[in-house]
Amino acid sequence: MNKYIDPLSDFGFKHLFGGEPNKDIMIEFLNALFKGQKNITDIVYSPTEYAGDDQEYRKVSFDLLCTGTQGEQFIVEMQRVSHSNFSDRCIFYLSRLVHQQKLLGKGNWNFKLKEVFLIAILDFKMKSSTNDHYLQSISLVNTGTGEIFHNGLGFKFLELPKFDKKEDELETELDKWVYMLKHMQSLGKIPGYLDKRIFQKIFNVAEMSRLTAEQRFIHDLDQQKKWEYQCILDETLQTGMERGEAKGLDKGMQHGIEEGIERGFKKGILEGIEKGIEQGLEQGKLEIFIELAREMKKENFDMLKIAQFTKLSSEVIKNL
């Protein structure tokens, strides 16, 4: 039995970073992430769901959204598994926040947009990333000069698999935060090198023994969901390899034995793996969320809370 919750799980992430009583945790994390570029003194948690102007526009739901004292907004997302259009989703999320700032009745541009940022904590390496550093900071820049075109819109991606520093190699505050996120669940006590007051608070909040019965129930379901997700990933990878191999052989037959083995076979395997993983994960994710909602209904959870944790519609939940 682990002493501390998993901060990378849905429940653990929101338990540590998403509550008003613990907003100082989010403030300290954001200040470490921006490293002096910004000095955030206070935040207010904002609604995480934004609908479009009409039914044809897709509704978006963020993991966490908070607003600073200067009106700047921070979307904070935890993403454990990669998918094909992840970067497009990030751009869409920020675009929705910018769009929400439209000032009705204003006939001119005599106003300044509020700053918007998306912070993603990733348990995978981004396909488009060529830098070996675990933090990718992206802004709008002039590609000719490298100068910042607009610094009020940006992305910060924490790629946890790239972080391999040991305890005695931690240099910055951000190093300590990333080390904590990666290793908290396997630790038995608060490490001495994380002696700052905020880290002491985080480990206290994260103690399994401090969870209520309701929180413990959600935590256990969340862990079960993670394990089942991993099983689906493993099985889908195997299926994808088998499909990819067959597809590669078919292409090889069509384009000639030599060229087919050289190009079609290899490409087919990769395409099959990627397609198989995406389809399997989507179906598996839906089934897991449905099962989670069904269990929460048995325990008489509030309908709003079930929808919040599973992202299922109220109509679907009622019919379970």
Look at 59-63, 90-94, 183-187 and tell me which has the smallest mean pLDDT.
59-63
Most confident of 91-100, 150-159, 262-271: 150-159
What is the pLDDT confidence band of residue 265, given thresholds at 50, 70 and 90?
low
| Paired residues of 150 in beta bridges | 140
The yes-or-no verdict on residue 229 having pLDDT over 70 is no
Say which residue, 221 or 211, is predicted with more confidence: 211
The yes-or-no verdict on residue 100 having pLDDT over 70 is yes
* Amino acid at the residue 42: D
Tokens 């989507």 locate to 282
| Paired residues of 101 in beta bridges | none
pLDDT, one tens digit per residue, over 108-162 is 677 788 899 999 999 999 887 777 899 999 999 999 998 999 888 999 999 999 9
Average pLDDT over residues 59-75: 90
The pLDDT of residue 134 is: 95
C-alpha separations of 227 from 5, 12, 221, 285 in Å: 15, 15, 10, 12
Average pLDDT over residues 41-49: 90
DSSP one-letter string for 269-315: HHHHHHHHHHHHHHHHHHHHHHHHHHHHHHTT--HHHHHHHH---HH
Domain boundaries, the chain: 10-211, 214-318
* Torsions phi, psi for 51 (to 5 deg): -90, 160
User: What 3-state DSSP class applies to 139?
Assistant: strand
Average pLDDT over residues 257-277: 54
The pLDDT of residue 172 is: 93
Say which residue, 312 or 174, is predicted with more confidence: 174
| Residues with Cβ within 8 Å of residue 180, at least 6 apart in sequence | 7, 194, 199, 202
The pLDDT of residue 285 is: 62
Q: What percent of the chain has pLDDT over 90?
A: 40
Q: What is the mean pLDDT of the chain?
A: 81
